[in-house]
Amino acid sequence: MEKGEYILALDEGTTSCRAILFDRQGRAAASAQREFASVFPQAGWVEQDADEIWRTQLAVMREAASSVSAAQISAIGITNQRETLVVWDAETGEPLHQAIVWQCRRTSAMCESLKAEGWEAEVRARTGLVLDPYFTGTKLKWLLDEVPGLREKAEAGRVLVGTIDTWLIWKLTEGAVHATDVSNASRTMLFNIHTLAWDEEILARLGIPAVMLPEVKPSSGIFGYTRLLDGDGEGTATEMTPPAGIPIAGVAGDQQAALFGQGCFESGMAKNTYGTGCFLLTNTGESPIASEKGLLTTIAWQMDGKTTYALEGSVFTAGSVIQWLRDGLGLIAHASESEALAASVADTLGVYVVPAFTGLGTPYWNADARGMITGLTRGATSAHLVRAALESIAYQTADVLGTMAAESGLRLKELRVDGGAVANSLLMQFQADLLGVSVIRPVMLETTALGAAFLAGLGVGFWSGTDELRALWELDRTFVPERDEAWRAGVYGGWQKAVGYQL
C-alpha cells in the first residue's frame, strides 16, 4: 500500500468531536473541534442526537483535512466515548432513538434487580465489569423493552446497534461495515473478555438478539474504507471504493486509546485521562486480572494476534465539573478561567465539592449518590468553590489509585496524564501533592486522538512498531510533590468525610 504523509484521527468525545491530522513525528499538523448537545429528559438521564454527533464529526473531519488531499492521508483512526449506545434502522440508517450516553442512570433499578437475582458475580467473571447502569448492556435491554416495535424489528434483523465507533464506521463506509473493536466491545457488559466473543448466556438473560450486534475486530488493522470524503454526509457522497478510499485502520475506546497514545505498551505502566470523566488505566499484559475492590478488568487493545488487558478505575465527573461551574453556576465564562480564579485563594477554606452528578464510580459504585458541597462558611467565596471543584478531580483520582494499590500491590513511581483538564497546572500540582508521586504531562495533551492515530498507522505500516512510537513521546513538564504526608492525610481525610455523607 502506498504511504501518505498523515494519519487522520477522529476523536468523538462526550461533549465534542475533534479531528486531528498527525504527521510521521506524531505531531498535530491540523485540527478542528466542535461541541454538540446533550439532553437530560429526567433526573439522571442523559441522551444525545446520533445524527448530530455524525454531522459534527464529519464537519471537523473535513475541516482538519481541508489542506491536504485524500491521497496524503494513509489511514483514519477512530476513538470514542465508550458505553454510549446507538440503535438504527438497518436499511435507512435512521436512528431509532436518541443515543443513550454512558453517564445515563436510567437502568439503575434494572441493575439492582439483576444483582438481587445473583447475576453480578457471573457478569464480573465473564466481562470484567460490575453490574452498573454505566455499561451498554442494560441500556440496550431498556430500549428493546420500552421502544414500541423495536424488539420485533431487531429479531427480524432490521435493527443495528453499536457504540459510537460502530456508528461512525457504518456512516463513513455508507453502511458497508458494521463492526467494533475488542476494546469497545469489552465495555458493553455483553462481551466475554476470555473467549473474545459476544456472551450467549448474557445475551439470552437480557433478551438481546445477537443478529443486531456488530462484528468484533482487532484494534489495529483495516476495518473498511471511506466512501464519502467529498459528499455532504446525507447519502449523496461520491463513492470511494478501495483502493481509492481511505482505510479505517485503528479503533479503540477513548481510555484505551489514551493508554496507547501515552506509550504505556508494557505491563505495569499507567495513565490518567482528565476528560469529562476521569479514567486511570494500568496495562496488565496478556492476562486479565480480576478485581474485588471496584476496579474494572477490561481489554486495552488487540493487535498482531495478541490481546492486552488493563485494570481501570472510573470517575464519572471530572472535567464536566468545570462545565458545571461555567454553565450551571455561571462562576466562570470560560473553562480556562478556572485556574486563575482558584489560584487567587490559598486553599478551599475547608470547602469540599463532591460532584456525584451521575453517581459515584470506583471504588464506591453508588449509582444513587448525588452531588453535594460541604464545609461552607460565611467566608467562602466563588474562588473557594471553584478551587474545591477542581480539587475534587484530584481527590477522586486518589480514591482510584488507592484502590489500585490495595488490589494489586502496585505503587506508582509516576503518573502519566492527558486530557483537556491537564492544561490546568494548579490542578496538576495539587494532584502530585496529594498522591506524593510525580505527575508527568506530555507535550501532546490529546493522547486519546494520538492513540487512535498510532493504532491506525500501525494497521497500514505507516509506523514500524511500538519502538518507533515510544521514541515519538515528548515530555512537557513534570510536577513534583511539594507537600508532606501530614498535609496529605489532613486534606484527604476531609474528602473522605465529605464523600461519606453520600454512602
Element (H, E) at 408: helix 382-408
What amino acid is encoded at 418 in this protein?
D
Q: Which residue has the cell 464506591?
A: 364
DSSP string, 51-66: HHHHHHHHHHHHHHTT
Grid cell for residue 348: 478551599
Cα–Cα dist 371/388, whole Å: 13
Within 13 A of 73's CA, how many CA atoms are on the CB side? 32
Tell me if 424 is assigned to a ligand binding site: yes
Tell me if 255 is assigned to a ligand binding site: yes
Tell me if 83 is assigned to a ligand binding site: yes
Closest CA to 503 of 368, 407, 389: 368
Contact 36/48 with Cβ under 8 angstroms? yes
Q: Which residue has the cell 458475580?
A: 121
Contacts of 290 (CB under 8 A, 6+ apart): 124, 125, 128, 297
Count of C-beta atoms within a 10 Å radius of residue 120: 16
Tell me if 323 is assigned to a ligand binding site: yes
DSSP string, 333-398: SSTTHHHHHHHTSSS-TT-EEE--BTBB-TTT-BTT---EEE---TT--HHHHHHHHHHHHHHHHH
Tell me if 82 is assigned to a ligand binding site: yes
Cα dihedral sign for 340, 341, 346, 351?
Answer: negative
Tell me if 16 is assigned to a ligand binding site: yes
Cα–Cα dist 134/52, whole Å: 22
Tell me if 448 is assigned to a ligand binding site: no
What amino acid is encoded at 179 in this protein?
A
Q: What is the DSSP letter of 483?
A: S
Tell me if 15 is assigned to a ligand binding site: yes
| Partners of 169 in the β-ladder | none
Tell me if 319 is assigned to a ligand binding site: yes
Give how far Cα 364 sits from Cα of 58, 292, 293, 345, 400, Å. 38, 12, 9, 31, 10
Tell me if 402 is assigned to a ligand binding site: no
The residue count of the chain comes to: 503
Annotated binding-site members for sn-glycerol 3-phosphate: 14, 82-83, 134, 254
Tell me the binding residues for ATP: 14-16, 276, 319, 323, 420
List, as residue ranges, the binding site.
14-16, 18, 82-83, 134, 254-255, 276, 319, 323, 420, 424
Please give the annotated binding residues for ADP, written as ranges: 14, 18, 276, 319, 420, 424
Q: Binding site for glycerol, residues?
A: 82-83, 134, 254-255
